[in-house]
């Protein structure tokens, strides 16, 4: 005879109830550290690049305090920072492990993910109005030199103009016949 079906007396959780180890790698691109919004140990050196990017984005906003940035724009900047982080991670994984796996197959999924992340970054940049290159702001000294140069050119052009000295361009003969 067969045994009757009963509940398992095992105390071990099954399936999705299992908790992964804190630093266990579940697949090539996402780890438990990612879910905690931390960088995995292998990518810790990228944190400086990410911090520099986020700080640069805040400086580009031209505000003294980060709280001066409106909430929606600040969230877009945070999204852009996260996308930048993922771009760096996927790029580093491709650099570290190569474009081909050990069977010689191209890592199409990783390359596609990198491409889609870059496209997402471009869309967020356009949303933030970062599609234009910022123009260089001239220093006060450069501004003074430019204005002085324009005034000199203007004065030189006006000195040769017949209208500045009361002359309307008529010849002496035309004036005498009037």
Instruction: Specify the pLDDT at position 90.
Output: 92
pLDDT digit of tens for each residue in the chain (178 aa)?
A: 555 555 555 555 555 555 555 555 545 556 666 666 666 676 677 777 777 887 888 888 877 777 888 888 888 888 888 899 889 889 988 998 999 989 999 999 999 999 999 999 999 988 888 765 666 788 888 889 989 988 888 777 776 655 555 555 555 555 555 4
Cβ neighbour number for residue 87 with a 10 Å cutoff: 17
Q: Supply the range of the domain harboring residue 44.
A: 28-128
Residue 6 lies in a domain: no
Residue 86 lies in a domain: yes
Sign of the C-alpha dihedral computed for residues 134, 139, 142 and 146 taken in this order: positive
Contact between 90 and 117 (Cβ < 8 Å): yes
Domain count, the chain: 1
CA 178 to mean position of chain CA atoms: 72
Instruction: Specify the pLDDT at position 138.
Output: 82
**Start-to-end CA span in the chain (Å):** 136
Residue 134 lies in a domain: no
Contact between 87 and 114 (Cβ < 8 Å): yes
Of 91, 20, 17, 16, nearest in space to 50 by CA: 91
pTM for the model: 0.50
- Could you give the CA distance from residue 31 to residue 35 in angstroms, rounded to a whole number? 7
Instruction: Specify the pLDDT at position 1.
Output: 52
Residue 88 lies in a domain: yes
């Amino acid at each position: 005879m067969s045994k009757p079906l009963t509940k398992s007396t095992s105390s071990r959780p099954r399936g999705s109830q299992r908790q992964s180890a804190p630093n266990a790698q579940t697949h090539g691109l996402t780890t438990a550290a990612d879910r905690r919004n931390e960088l995995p140990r292998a990518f810790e050196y990228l944190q400086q690049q990410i911090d520099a990017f986020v700080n640069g984005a805040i400086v580009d906003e031209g505000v003294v305090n980060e709280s001066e940035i409106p909430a929606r724009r600040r969230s877009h900047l945070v999204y852009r920072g996260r996308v930048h982080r993922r771009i760096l991670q996927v790029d580093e994984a491709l650099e570290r492990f190569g474009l081909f796996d050990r069977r010689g197959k191209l890592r199409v999924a990783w390359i596609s993910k990198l491409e889609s992340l870059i496209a997402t970054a471009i869309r967020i940049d356009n949303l933030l109005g970062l599609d234009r290159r910022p123009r260089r702001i001239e220093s006060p000294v450069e501004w003074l030199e430019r204005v002085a140069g324009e005034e000199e050119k203007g004065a030189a052009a006006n000195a040769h103009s017949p209208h500045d000295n009361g002359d309307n361009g008529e010849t002496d003969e035309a004036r005498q016949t009037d």
